Each structure stands twice: as C-alpha cells, then as structure tokens.
Amino acid sequence: MNSAEFTAILGAGALLAGFLGALTGLGGGVVIVPLLTLAFGVDIRYAIGASLVSVIATSSGSAAAYVKEGFSNIRIGMFLEIATTIGAICGAFLATKTSAAAIAIIFGLVLLYSAAMSNRKRSDAHLQRGPDPIASALRMNGSYPVGDEKQHYLVRRVPLGFGIMFGAGTLSGLLGIGSGAVKVLAMDEAMQIPFKVSTTTSNFMIGVTAAASAGVYLSRGYIDPGLAMPVTLGVLAGSLLGARFLVQAKTHALRIIFAIVIAFLGIEMIYNGFTGRL
Amino acid sequence: MPAIQEMDDTLIDVRISVLLRTGMILSAIVIFIGGALFLLHHGRSIPDYRVFHGIQAPLNNVSGIVQEALHGHDLGIIQFGLLLLIATPVARVLFSVIAFWMERDYLYVAISGIVLVILLYSLFVHRA
C-alpha cells in the first residue's frame, strides 16, 4: 500500500468514524485509535497524536454551532477548563512514561465505560434545593432556551465536579481522546447540570483540553503530518455531515450498534495489550 | 427563592462561535493544501507507522513548523494547518479574557487568564 492509497482508505475510515460519532453523540475520537492500531497496525503513540488533533477539529466545529444557540455555559466551561488543562498536561507526560501495552489496556477500559454510559437513562429531574454558595459565587447558574422560554438551572457540588474534570483531562492527555463520557459524568451526575447544557459545554471544553496536551505531543514527535492529515480531514468532514443528518435520523438503534462496536473494540484493545501485540 | 445572579453572555457566545468556525475552516484548508502537495510529491512512497521513531525537528516545534511552511514544504504546510487547529481553542480563551475584561467581570478575567497561561506553557515553554 503506498501513501496515496493509505491516505484514501484512512480518510474514508475517519469519515465514517466522525459521521457515526456525531450521529450518536459519542464522538468519533474514541474509535480512531483502535482503527489505526488494530486495523492499520500504526504504533499507538502516532495513533493518539493523530486522534488528539482530530478531536480538536470536531470540538471547534460542533461548539461553534452549540455556543451560538445558547446551550453551552461558557462560565462553567471556563472554570472547569482549569482542571482539565492541568490534567491534560499531566496525562500527556504520563503517556510518554507509560508502555504501549498499558496505554492499550487503559484505552480498552475507557471504551467499555463509554459504551456502557451511552445507553444509560438520562433524567433532568434533579433535586433542586436552593442555590449552592460556590456556584453562586462563581456565577455559574444559567438558563438555556426551550422553545421561546428560558429554562433556568442551578449548579451544585462544584469541587466534586472540578475533581472529576481533572481526571477527565488526564485521560484525555494520556489517550488522545476528548473523554466526553467522563466530562458529562462530572457535569450531569456531580454538578447536576441539565443534559443539554452539560453535553454542549463538554463539547466546548474538549478543544481547549486537547490543545493543552497537544504541546507535549508535538514536542515528543507524536503528531505525524502524513497520518494526522487524512484522520483530521476525514473526522471533521464526517462529523459535519453527521450533524446535518442528526435532525432526521433515528439515532436510538444506531447508538446501540455503535456502543456494541465500541465495546468490542475495547475488548480487542485490552486483549492486544495483554498479549503485547500493541 | 432568592434572586440568582444570571449572566447574559449572548454577544460573547456569537463571537466565540464565529472565531471557532473561522479557525476550523482556515486550518482545514491549509491541511488540505499541504496534503495535496504531499500526495503529489510522495503519493507512491510506502508509509511506515508500525515502529515509533517520533517526528524530529523542525516539525516538532512551533518556530520550526512556521519556517518549514514558509519555505513551502508539504509536510511543513500540513503541520502548520494542524498548529492553526490547535491555536483555535487557544485564541478562544484569549478572546474570553478580553471579553470578560470589557464586561468588567474580573473574576472570570482571572479564571480565563489561568487557562491561557496553562495553554501557552504547554505550547511554548516546556521542551522535551
């Protein structure tokens, strides 16, 4: 296989990953590393480097739409980015000290977790007790549009959310992924932010988080232009297409199928990690 | 229920949206041009990513990449496009610092400022 064929096939694979990722809301980034390592035999360090830049591209693309619609809360995002960016730099340094096999196993576990999280029930029926003093001091409470009305919400347990976000940033830097599933956990479960706000704010934060580890990846030679080019352009085009189809598509069945694929890839990554093939 | 202070960030939101979209489109165009040149020159070469060698200087640091791109080297142009992509969220944070300053929201000037310093540290200060 020469470079032109490799670029074309990889670009098509990345396009499909981005498309399914946007349709199901799971993000294309999580399948890029398994695709590159398992199907194309790429070294996991080049794979996480290419994945990381593609994650920045999709975050900027989708955040541009969501921010304008008024769902994302830029104050919550900005504050939590302190935790995710510090975590991301730590994670990127950890990646340079961790064996490829160990990274593959951790990656597999995160894939299994993401698959499990994707089909859980979502409820916005949070217990509302008065405003939380820390959230109020940080002016995080906000509102989002529901039709012509504004739905107000209160933010809770800021320190817990901040702590989980540090973990999300570390995973992002270690594995070259957006770790959206962990970010949503921090905002949905810990801080009790409504689902629409937490997913869109998480998306908004992913780009900044990934940019923080990109510096470390770049200087360590993880970002290969020949590999990152088809991956980034493919995932970006796929996710923009996916977002366009999102309105008409019935995503429930697709979400289950994609979750099964992700779980399967997770098991495959763990297996290859233990047998030392990655 | 006591009155809860809620901020209206509509104008900031719209500008951030334009900034992110512009950065994304610009970097995609640069990466595409670099990629087309790369395939034109090296389309028949055999890629090998099985063994990790690590991208060497000048393509592993900001100033080296800018130099390579200015000389019109294909890989340098791709890498420059990737840098623009990485710079887009950084520019968003810089814009937030300025926007919060203009709103006299100094608490969030400080918060965005901390994030900006962390990002700049990662991109410029630290060296492997």
Domain span at residue B24 reads 15-40+57-125
Residues from chain B contacting residue A4 (CB–CB below 8 Å): 39, 43-44
pLDDT band at B1 (very low <50, low <70, confident <90, very high): very low
Interface residue A213 vs chain B (CB under 8 A): yes
Tens digit of pLDDT for each residue in A33-74? 999 999 999 999 999 999 999 999 988 888 877 777 788 898
Q: Which two tokens stand for residue A107?
A: 């990656």
pLDDT of the residue at B3? 46
Nearest to A46 among B27, B35, B49 (CB): B49
Cβ(A134)–Cβ(A161) under 8 Å? no
Domain boundaries, chain A: 3-274
Does residue A182 have a pLDDT over 90?
A: no
SS (H, E, C) A145-167: EECCEEEEECCCCHHHHHHHHHH
Does residue A113 have a pLDDT over 60?
A: yes
Alpha-carbon distance of B44 to B23, in angstroms, equals 31
Does residue A124 have a pLDDT over 60?
A: no
Does residue B127 have a pLDDT over 80?
A: no
Q: Which two tokens stand for residue B89?
A: 């969220």
For residue A253, the distance in angstroms to the closest alpha carbon of chain B comes to 31
Alpha-carbon distance of B13 to A68, in angstroms, equals 5
Residue B46 CB contacts under 8 Å (≥ 6 apart), including other chains: A1, A2, A3
Q: Which residue of B has its CA nearest to A51?
A: B82
More confidently predicted of A251 and B118: B118
Tens digit of pLDDT for each residue in A229-272? 999 999 999 988 887 776 666 667 777 888 888 899 999 999 99
pLDDT of the residue at A258? 83
More confidently predicted of A225 and A184: A225
Residue B50 CB contacts under 8 Å (≥ 6 apart), including other chains: A41, A42, A43
Region A117-133 average pLDDT: 67
Main-chain dihedrals φ then ψ at residue A152, nearest 5 degrees = -90, 150
* Identity at B69, one-letter amino acid code: A
Among A29, A178, A30, A172, which residue's Cα sits nearest to residue A88?
A: A172
| Average pLDDT of chain A, as a whole number | 87
| Residue B51 placed within a domain | no
Alpha-carbon distance of B34 to A183, in angstroms, equals 34
Nearest to A225 among B18, B62, B75 (CB): B75
Residue indicated by tokens 């706000």: A197
Nearest to A45 among B35, B42, B52 (CB): B52
More confidently predicted of A176 and A248: A176
Contact A75 B47 (CB under 8 A): no
In sequence order, what are the beta bridge partners of A152? Answer: A143
Q: Please compute Rg for chain B using Cα positions.
A: 19
Query: In angstroms, how far is CA B27 from the centroid of its own chain?
Result: 9
Contact B60 A221 (CB under 8 A): yes
Does residue A228 have a pLDDT over 90?
A: yes
| Residue B114 placed within a domain | yes
| Residue B104 placed within a domain | yes
pLDDT band at A163 (very low <50, low <70, confident <90, very high): very high
More confidently predicted of B73 and A131: B73
Interface residue A254 vs chain B (CB under 8 A): no
For residue B67, the distance in angstroms to the closest alpha carbon of chain A comes to 15
Contact A60 B38 (CB under 8 A): no
Number of domains in chain B: 1
pLDDT of the residue at A69? 79
pLDDT of the residue at B2? 43
Residues from chain A contacting residue B60 (CB–CB below 8 Å): 218-221, 223
Share of chain B above pLDDT 90, in %: 63
pLDDT band at B128 (very low <50, low <70, confident <90, very high): very low
Residue A189 CB contacts under 8 Å (≥ 6 apart), including other chains: none
Alpha-carbon distance of A107 to A105, in angstroms, equals 5
- Give the Å distances, CA to CA, from A177 to A193, B1, B84: 23, 41, 19
Alpha-carbon distance of A223 to A251, in angstroms, equals 33
Does residue A173 have a pLDDT over 90?
A: yes
CA count, 13 A, side-chain hemisphere, A208: 34
Nearest to B118 among A59, A85, A227 (CB): A85
Residues from chain B contacting residue A72 (CB–CB below 8 Å): 13
Does residue A119 have a pLDDT over 80?
A: no
Cβ(A74)–Cβ(B31) under 8 Å? no
pLDDT of the residue at B76? 96
Q: Which two tokens stand for residue A260?
A: 């099964």
Best mutation target among A48, A54, A56 (most B Cβ atoms within 10 Å) is A56
pLDDT of the residue at A180? 80
Best mutation target among B1, B44, B92 (most A Cβ atoms within 10 Å) is B92
Best mutation target among B30, B88, B97 (most A Cβ atoms within 10 Å) is B88
Residues from chain A contacting residue B128 (CB–CB below 8 Å): 96, 216, 219-220
Cβ(A17)–Cβ(A234) under 8 Å? yes
Q: Which residue of B has its CA nearest to A90?
A: B122
Does residue A114 have a pLDDT over 90?
A: no
Alpha-carbon distance of B61 to A219, in angstroms, equals 6
Q: Which two tokens stand for residue A110?
A: 């995160």
Q: Which two tokens stand for residue B83?
A: 């840098």
Tens digit of pLDDT for each residue in B35-93? 999 999 988 888 889 889 888 889 988 899 999 999 999 999 999 999 999 999 999 99
Share of chain A above pLDDT 90, in %: 51
SS3 A226: helix
pLDDT of the residue at A127? 57
For residue A188, the distance in angstroms to the closest alpha carbon of chain B comes to 20
SS (H, E, C) chain B: CCCCCCCCCHHHHHHHHHHHHHHHHHHHHHHHHHHHHHHHHHCCCCCCCCCCCCCCCCCCCHHHHHHHHHCCCHHHHHHHHHHHHHHHHHHHHHHHHHHHHHCCCHHHHHHHHHHHHHHHHHHHHCCC
Interface residue A205 vs chain B (CB under 8 A): no
